[in-house]
Amino acid sequence: MTDPRRTTPAGRPRARALGIPLDGETGDSNAITDVPGVLVGYTTLIEGSGPLIVGGGPIRTGVTAILPRGRDGAARAVHAGSFSLNGNGELTGTLWIEETGRCSGPITITNTHSCGVARDATIRWMAANVPGFTNGEKMQWALPVAGETYDGYLNDINGFHVSAEHVCQAIDAARDGPLEEGSVGGGTGMICYEFKGGSGTASRVVTYDGRPYTVGAFVQSNFGLRHELVVAGVPVGRHLRNGTLPYSGGSSIIAVIATDAPLLPHQLKRLARRIALGVARAGTVSHNGSGDIFLAFTTANEAAIAATDGLQDASFVPEDQIDPLFTAVVQAIDEAILNSLITNEAMIGRDERRVEALPHDELRAILQRYGRFEPD
């Protein structure tokens, strides 16, 4: 039986299968879905080949949906915090998160020119699937979170191939357990450190006051230049110069942290800031053209956040005990980025543009040369 911490459901090796030294204890699936109640779904669109015909393809794109409280809890808010390391991108709903420390509904990630479609389609899905959303007397409203990164190097991004139906399909497909990674969902057409990037996930387990809590990470990686790439502290990108791209390194990363640890909104904002440290471990400087935007939420304190009257009690980890959660965020984000690269394979997109996958054998050899390889 395969170990989902090391291998995707389709059998692709993850970072832990390549002997990369990684710190911390993972959850059962080493995924954001290790946080109880969190579901993830994909719609992946891969069609056509050859020269770009705007509106006709080739298509290399998709949608990712993250449901903090599952489909049945889509209308129930979670406490949340956000942070923008570099703002050349979009993550909708963050003004309301900043104002109230909460968000509700599915979180979606797609390509830059489909972000509005994803946001609006999420509201359409909620109107159709959340009981009482429109009851004839009182109109409910939503400000869902939708993020984007740019896939125009490989995809017919101006063909607007992501539809509202595709967004709803991703939400309806959301599940728990082990997840596919790489060129799936919103990550389908993405590039990271001039290798094929995309969707990646990981998790860590932290014990506080005798109880285990999970910190799960999900990234849509689409950032960085080849020479910047660092793996386990090793400057891998300097040694892998074949197949570099005529590429500015702008692009973006959207990263989401989920946890069941009881935290207040300002503490979640602190976790969102630490995502930047996890991203930096892989070597990027957060380029001027990069949209590096992060979200953290907790599924804890559900009764308190749902209440509409009376004084409420919410539990939280004391500030001077929060460092293990910071550590978990950094470790999980770093591994999620590596998984988005390592689970991938080369892709040919519009105009026969080819993006290579991070080569496993060469990676292992470089890590061995630097004494940073841990064989089974």
Strand partners, 81: 296
Q: Is the pLDDT confidence value at 115 over 60?
A: yes
* 290 a catalytic residue: yes
What is the number of alpha carbons within 13 Å of residue 271 lying toward its C-beta? 34
pLDDT digits (tens, 9 = 90+) for 350-359: 999 999 999 9
Choose, from 252, 260, 334, 340, the residue flagged as catalytic.
Answer: 252
Choose, from 104, 290, 334, 340, the residue flagged as catalytic.
Answer: 290
Are 193 and 226 within 8 A, CB to CB?
A: yes
pLDDT digits (tens, 9 = 90+) for 208-228: 999 999 999 999 999 999 999
pLDDT digits (tens, 9 = 90+) for 244-300: 898 766 689 999 999 999 999 999 999 999 999 999 999 999 999 999 999 999 999
What pLDDT score was predicted for residue 251? 81
What span, in angstroms and rounded, lies between the C-alpha atoms of 295 and 80? 7
For the chain, domains (ranges, CATH) are 15-306+313-366 (3.60.70.12)
CA–CA distances in Å: residue 176 to residues 3, 158, 255, 313: 16, 33, 18, 29
* 114 a catalytic residue: no
* 286 a catalytic residue: no
Choose, from 251, 292, 334, 340, the residue flagged as catalytic.
Answer: 292
What angle, rounded to 10 degrees, do the helices at 323-342 and 265-281 form?
Answer: 40
